[in-house]
Amino acid sequence: MLTTQQLADIEQNPYKADFPLLAQNPDLTFLDSAATAQRPEVVLDAERTFYTTMNANPLRGLYRLSVEATEAIDEARKTIARFIGAVDEKGDPQGNQIVFTRNASESLNLVARTLGPKVVLGPDDEVVISIMEHHSNLIPWQQLCRATGAKLTYLRLDDDFRITPEEVASKIGPHTKIVSVTQVSNVLGVQNDVKAIARRAHEVGAYMVVDGAQSVPHAPVNVRDLDCDLMAFSAHKLGGPMGIGVLWGKSEVLDAMPPFLTGGEMIDSVTETDAVWAPVPQKFEAGTQDAAGSFATKAAIDYLASKDMAKLEARERELATYLTDRLNDLPYVDVIGPKDGSRHVSAVAFNVRGVHPHDVASILDMSNVCIRAGHHCAQPLLNYLEVENRATCRASVAFYNDKADIDRLVEGLDKVWSIFGGAVDTKEA
């Protein structure tokens, strides 16, 4: 339950004006930031600025424009590294630990395809993931285990939607070679203790991979503190452009991994019979890079940093708490996940009793309320939870949302219930 001051804080919105789509559509209620975030004006400007002032192929020219494009990418790497705590003992950002991909899915596929061969998995080995993984952090490991004969083991949730220390200790053991876990569930919005999981993984000599797609946009993340070996996330979920993903890794881990794709500037030298790879990160970046996208990603992170990530996280926690409280108060709605809103990072899953989530989302859209409906690329989780229709509605907040957005969602849900269910006074037992 929020205090009077907290309610007043989320009633105010000093951010929405920075986002053209939201500013130009004041009647729009956008509650699907877990799928993709809105872009601030500075990001849109940055991409245009690149193309109008320094458009050239990076790494491939000695002329001024090409050099400037190359420098823009290098600065983007440093900005991203600083943002996620990838710094050395002096606090200097380690830009060479930042690999650009197309999205978090590609980053995770890269890891599975390259870390797997390095580890040399066999029939007696195990890869450990959680039951709440997005398909992007599940299917690549399924494929790897199928190809190598290794066993895929799942960390499962208790009744309070937590992965307990006991579960971690029992599932991560001497046969575990790789652990790959999401920091925040894209469905439930719950945050996993990946630092503790990483500690256990390293105790048994395993690598720790983190899917940060839902954590990096919403809370301060420090990879040094987490002591993970690799982390993946996407630019578009933190206000950057679509088509840019990030893979961060410890230098010694990235250096030991073979390339994922070949061609272009990922080579140092080529003969008729062999090739020598370029150093990291170029080793993993075949072909022409999206330099404009990287430049715009830097602008997105600069924007977030200028607003203070800790402050933005606190606001989003308040929004998620208010959202969860309002949903809990509706007698025809079941929240899928913790009833305590403070445990939700952005996303809150729910269902309207007896109404398919697709119908809920369609009717809400008539009121200009945007939510997600379906399995959210997490079918094993919804099967495990035995959710009706194996689908949920999902409302996900960002700092540019406000109290009015959530109130409009609730008004829309009342309309849904009036169409499909009628009014009830209390929730069914």
Residues with active-site annotation: 377
Between CA 404 and CA 293 the distance in angstroms is 33
- Beta strand 333-336 with 207-211 is unpaired
Nearest to 312 by CA among 295, 327, 300, 294: 300
Across 70-148, the runs of DSSP E, i.e. the strands, are 98-101, 126-130
Please choose, from the candidates 38, 48, 45, 44, the residue with its C-alpha nearest in 3D space to the C-alpha of residue 15: 38
Name the residue among 399, 107, 129 with its Cα closest to residue 235.
107
The answer to whether the CB of 320 falls within 8 A of the CB of 339 is no
Alpha-carbon distance 101 to 213, whole Å? 13
Residue 204: which of 256, 169, 249, 154 has the closest Cα? 169
CB-based contact 268:295 (threshold 8 Å): no
Give whole-number Cα distances, 226 to 84, 192, 196, 201, 314, in Å: 10, 12, 8, 12, 20
| 211: enclosing H helix or E strand | strand 207-211
Burial 21-36 (b: 16+ CB within 10 A, else e): ebeeeeeebbbbbbbe
CA distances from 241 to 35, 45, 69, 310 (A): 13, 11, 17, 23
Cα–Cα dist 217/239, whole Å = 8
Closest CA to 129 of 118, 117, 137, 121: 137
| Residues sharing a CB contact under 8 Å with residue 156, sequence separation 6 or more, in sequence order | 130, 131, 163, 167, 384
Residues whose CB falls within 8 Å of the CB of residue 314, separated by 6 or more in sequence, listed in order: none
